[in-house]
Structure 1
């Protein structure tokens, strides 16, 4: 799980979350960014990136400031519109038919949604499954609400009328707030079920064959290629930070910037510049790697003092202070939380 939370993703979702928090929920930006290691410029940067762990902390800070009540994630989902999703939204709107829309939606939403998205072709249609099993329990409701709301809002606004056999299953207990899901799904569409084992959206075969209202296969192909080009560019920019992470994991987090530059056969100045181009600093990468290693070692049952020694800390208390900086919890509290979640 620690490795999953260290996954790097575009900052689009965090940018929209910050805008919702400040403009609609009355949360001050410094309070939202607390303990994330992010600065306001990191949120605003075009084509910037954050780790999933940082975005999880943003959600926790928002819920701490507003109160963790049903519907907060749904309100955040309503804040997202097609302008916010840019060229990806245009690629979807110009798909030739609903089948292509659903397929493309899942492919590109994986970089924006909190869930891991997978699709399952069944005899009578297609299931799009939103998997939140890797997400911490204290933020899972918010994440499901936000993803379902913005998905249904976008889908309901731009797809042809959904048939009565389409349905939505939500892994949340019923709540009056969730009448919103029914409205967004459309009066002609099938039911929305709550209390389900998984969150999924089913579209039947007749609906999948319907043409899109703004179908333009040529434009869709062009916009899709632009999306793919953006993804590839991000992967290329991550090459240096990926090399740094690999070296830190292989040789230990005690490496200095100078050590790292020598191992990568570049100057310190070039390393700083290339990391800055990727929207990250060497210090942030070290902290992220420390956090991942610490979580992995603690999850094996290793004592805190032994983890501190292996990571090069002079005392267990110094390690505990750093660990609380990364996760918002002491090592012992984090271990207890993980043990409770396992049951």
Structure 2
């Protein structure tokens, strides 16, 4: 499929306002006013600060136009922007990626759920032999913003990869369509990717070893994991407030996605016996199972609606041994199975491809 003929829904979708905040903060850090950055976007300061606000793709493109037209002397602007998109910028979608069992599963979900991100490029992931090629398509974008967006999206992907791996992504090669730029920008690209890009190529493409797709993820670095934990805690707090020992236990249950500890393990971490922990919880009108159900129920519903994961993917991220056990638990929480809940909420059935994706992790 030619990039110019890509269906608009592959890139021209409404996205969270967080992307506009990232871009505006970048501009303000370079001395621009908010009025300059929001010019011709139709966005107000109040809309920008709305945590649940959304922005049209064309509005984001206008913010980018404003950025590059007023800061033409900053060649690394796209790279700077992309490096500001952290796992937690993406909300629960970032949590879903972070808690994927392997990099291959994270890439698979990220590619399929591209419309939960802030990407304006579309990408194709293909495994050929022992290598994986990630190609970024941008011909559908206005020429004046195309290079910024390619730089931004590639740097954002690299930042996400680094945070879920806990270390820089070891690229074997980085190809760029653009002609070789200034020495300053070439050096910036080299520092970003860890290898010197090959310029004047047919595609904007990154290459890495296919073996990385099967490596188990280390739940990212402690800082990023802590941010995701705070994000999930805020979500669960909004649904059900807890204090005392019950709050400590519930917070611990959210700390390691996909690897939820049992009561004995948590009691040992608290330097008490499981019997003592159970007594404290009973005194507070709680139980370990109730707290575990609260966490799983809240995160399951949010992952279903904001990250659009399949039932198997949600089961994995919530620490269930199999999808059947998860479905039975969901029926207990909501009174209906997940499929009926999705239908009642008007949610699309997950699993449809968002972009061409030849790599299927085994």
What TM-score, normalized by structure 2, do the two folds share?
A: 0.54
Aligned to 2:242: none
Q: Deviations over 1:111-138 (max 9, x none)?
A: 3112022323433343222211111111
Aligned counterparts of 1:6 and 1:109: Cα–Cα separation in 2:
11
Asked if the contact 1:153–1:184 (Cα under 8 Å) also holds between the matched residues in 2, the reply is no
Count matched residues: 227
Aligned counterparts of 1:164 and 1:78: Cα–Cα separation in 2:
17
Q: Does 1:91 align with 2:96?
A: yes
Choose between structure 1 and 2: higher helix proportion: 1
Aligned counterparts of 1:174 and 1:14: Cα–Cα separation in 2:
29
Aligned to 2:231: none
Aligned to 2:80: 75
CA shift at 1:224, angstroms? 8.3
CA shift at 1:208, angstroms? 1.4
What stretches of structure 1 of length at least 5 have no aligned partner?
A: 233-343
Q: Deviations over 1:34-82 (max 9, x none)?
A: 1111112222222322221111111111112222642111122223333
Q: Secondary structure at the match of 2:96?
A: helix
Aligned counterparts of 2:171 and 2:80: Cα–Cα separation in 1:
27
Q: Does 1:146 align with 2:152?
A: yes
Aligned to 1:170: 176
Question: Relative contact order (alpha carbons < 8 A, sep ≥ 6): 1 or 2 greater?
Answer: 2
Q: Deviations over 1:195-231 (max 9, x none)?
A: 22222223322121211112867369x7687344126
Asked if the contact 1:126–1:202 (Cα under 8 Å) also holds between the matched residues in 2, the reply is yes
Q: Does 1:218 align with 2:218?
A: no
Task: Please give the residue correspondences for 1:270-281 in structure 2 after superposition, counting only pairs within 5 Å.
Answer: none
Aligned counterparts of 2:48 and 2:83: Cα–Cα separation in 1:
20
Structure 1 segments of 4 or more deviating over 4 A?
160-165, 222-225
Aligned to 1:184: 192
Q: Deviations over 1:270-309 (max 9, x none)?
A: xxxxxxxxxxxxxxxxxxxxxxxxxxxxxxxxxxxxxxxx
Q: Secondary structure at the match of 1:27?
A: coil
Aligned counterparts of 1:108 and 1:101: Cα–Cα separation in 2:
10
Aligned to 1:128: 134
Aligned to 1:208: 213
Distance 1:92 1:52, change over 3 A: same
Aligned counterparts of 2:114 and 2:12: Cα–Cα separation in 1:
18
Aligned to 2:306: 230
Aligned counterparts of 1:92 and 1:198: Cα–Cα separation in 2:
26
Task: Please give the residue correspondences for 1:28-47 in structure 2 after superposition, counting only pairs within 5 Å.
Answer: 28-47=33-52
Q: Secondary structure at the match of 1:17?
A: helix
What TM-score, normalized by structure 1, do the two folds share?
A: 0.57
CA shift at 1:28, angstroms? 0.8
2:110 pairs with one of 82, 105, 114: 105
Q: Secondary structure at the match of 1:194?
A: coil
Q: Secondary structure at the match of 1:203?
A: strand
RMSD (Å), alpha carbons: 3.2
Aligned counterparts of 1:26 and 1:228: Cα–Cα separation in 2:
40
Q: Deviations over 1:153-182 (max 9, x none)?
A: 332343266786733222323333242333
Task: Please give the residue correspondences for 1:298-317 in structure 2 after superposition, counting only pairs within 5 Å.
Answer: none
Distance 1:73 1:162, change over 3 A: closer
